[in-house]
Structure 1
Amino acid sequence: MELVYVFHSGFAVLSDKASLLFDYYEDTDKDYGFVHEELLKRPEPLYVFSSHFHQDHFNPEIFKFKEKKDNIVYILSADIARKRSKYVKDQDYIKLRKGGSFEDDLIKVKAFGSTDIGVSFAVNLEGKEIFHSGDLNNWHWMDESTQEEWQGYEKSYLDELSYIKKDKRSFDLVMFPVDPRLHEEKSRGARQFLEAFNVKVLAPMHFWDKPEDDEKLLQSAKEHDVLLLNIKKRGQKFSLPW
C-alpha cells in the first residue's frame, strides 16, 4: 500500500484493490500532475472523499474525473449539498454526516465529527484502518483568544476524540492537520490524537506549500512509536510499512 501527498489536505492511498483520494484541492502541479496523469489511469476503483465544503477541501472539478474514469464512487460530507448545491445537484454520490456509514465489497467508511465543519473519515481498506481528519483539530488559536475561549475549543476537540473512541481505538494511517498558523502549538491536536489512539503512521497536512518540522510532534511520535512522515513537496510518495 502506498500514500501520495497531493496538496494541502489532499492525499491518495493506493492498494492493489482500490484507490482512495481525500480532500482534493489542487493536483501536484496545480491543474495536472499525479491525480490526472497517474491516479485516474489506474484500473482499480477510485473512492473520492470530501470532508466539507471549504474550497481547500472540496473542489467541484472532482466530478470531471468521470470523463477519464468510469469506476469512481464519491463520498461527500452532507454540508456540501447545502453549501455547494449547484455543483452536486445532478451528481451521483454518497452523502454522509456524523455517525453515518457506507460499505461495499472493498471498503467500510464511518463518518465522525469535526471541530470546524463537516466530518472526518475512518476507512477500512484491506483490513487497514485509515483516518482522514478533514478539519477536525484542536483549533485553539491561543494567540488570538482568551484562555476561556481556547480551553472551550480544546474541550470540543477532546469531546470529539472521545466520540471516536467509542468505535475506534487504533489506526494504521492517520492524516491530520499541523497548521503553521497555530504557531508554537500547531501540533497540539495531533499530539493529543497520538495520546488517545494507537497510531502506526502519521501524515501531517493542512500546511499549503509550507511544511515545517515540529520538535514537539517529533518527540511525541517517538514516545508513541509512530512513524511520522516527512512531507516536503507535492507528489511525494511513501511506501506504507505493511
Structure 2
Amino acid sequence: MKIYHLHHSGFLIQFDDKTLIFDCFTHIPNSLLRKNIPHYFFVTHGHGDHYSTDIFTTDRVYHPTFILSDDIPKVSTHHTHTIAPYQHLSLGGMDIRTFGTTDQGLSFYIATNQHRIFHAGDLNWWDWDTQLKPQIDTDQEEKDFKAELEKIKGLPMEFAFIPVDPRLGDSFYKAGQYFIETFHPKVMIPMHFRDDFDIIKRFKDKIGNTKTIIPEFTARNEKIVNTWSEEE
C-alpha cells in the first residue's frame, strides 16, 4: 500500500490490484497511474477544491471508474456510480459506505485489501472566528460535527484523512484532535490546507503525544512514507 498526497484533500492510494483516488482537482502525474490496473475516483462533493470534470479525461488504459456524491451532476459516459450519504456499495473488492458531512456532499469509509480507510471530505468542525463569519453558530457547528461522528462509531479506523484548515485560525486542530481521541486511528493524515504544509507540524505540536501516527509531507504529489508504509 502506497499513499501519495496530490493537493489539498486529494490523495492517491495504490494497492497491488487497484488504485484509489480521492477528491482530485489537479493534474495527476502519469508516473502515479498504472496501465491495465483499475483506478477508482472518489469525489466527496462538487466544490471546486475537491472536484474537477478533468478526471473524466483519464485515459481508458487506466480503467477509470467514478464514485460521485449525488450533489454532482452526471457529466460522464464512463463507468460512474452516484451515491448519497448513508448508503452502501460493493465494487471492485471494496466495501464502500458513505456518511454525512457538515458542509456539502458526503464522507467515505472503505474496507479493501485488509485495510480500513476514512476520507472525511468537508466533514469538519467548522469553528470559524465569528468576527470573520458572524452568521456562524459555533455551538451548533460543534454539535453537528460530533453528531455525525456518532454515526461512524464502532467502525475500525486505520487510515483517516481529516481536515486541518488554517483558515479556522486557532481552531484548526479541533476536528483532528477530536477524531483521534474518539477513534484512535492507526494513521491520521491531515488535509484541506492547500499548500500550507507547515500546518502539519503545528497540528502535531498542538495535540502533543498520541499513539496515532501523523505523517509529515511537504509537497504536492509526494509519497507519504512512515513506519507503516513500504518504502521503495
TM-score, with normalisation over the residues of structure 2?
0.89
Distance 1:58 1:47 in 2: 14
Aligned to 1:79: 71
5+ residue gaps, structure 1, are 28-34
Distance 1:41 1:200 in 2: 27
- Per-residue deviation, 1:234: 0.6
Deviations 1:196-219 (A, max 9, x none): 102011111111111223545445
Aligned to 2:57: 64
Aligned to 1:31: none
Aligned to 2:37: 44
Aligned to 1:138: 125
SS of residue matched to 1:227: coil
Provide the identity percentage.
29
Provide the aligned length of Structure 1 versus Structure 2. 226
Distance 2:45 2:218 in 1: 25
- Per-residue deviation, 1:235: 1.4
Which of these residues, 89, 98, 104, is aligned with residue 111 of structure 1? 98
SS of residue matched to 1:12: strand
Distance 2:137 2:206 in 1: 27
Distance 1:182 1:132 in 2: 20
Aligned to 2:163: 177
Cα-Cα RMSD: 2.1
SS of residue matched to 2:194: coil
Aligned to 2:84: 97
SS of residue matched to 1:75: strand
Aligned residue identity for 1:113: G
TM-score, with normalisation over the residues of structure 1?
0.86
Change over 3 Å in CA distance of 1:105–1:74 after alignment to 2: closer
Aligned residue identity for 2:14: L
SS of residue matched to 1:155: helix
- Per-residue deviation, 1:105: 4.3
Conserved in 2, the CA contact under 8 Å of 1:18 and 1:106?
Answer: no
- Per-residue deviation, 1:91: 4.4
Instruction: Map 1:198-213; keep pairs closer than 5 Å.
Output: 198-213=184-199
Aligned residue identity for 2:30: E
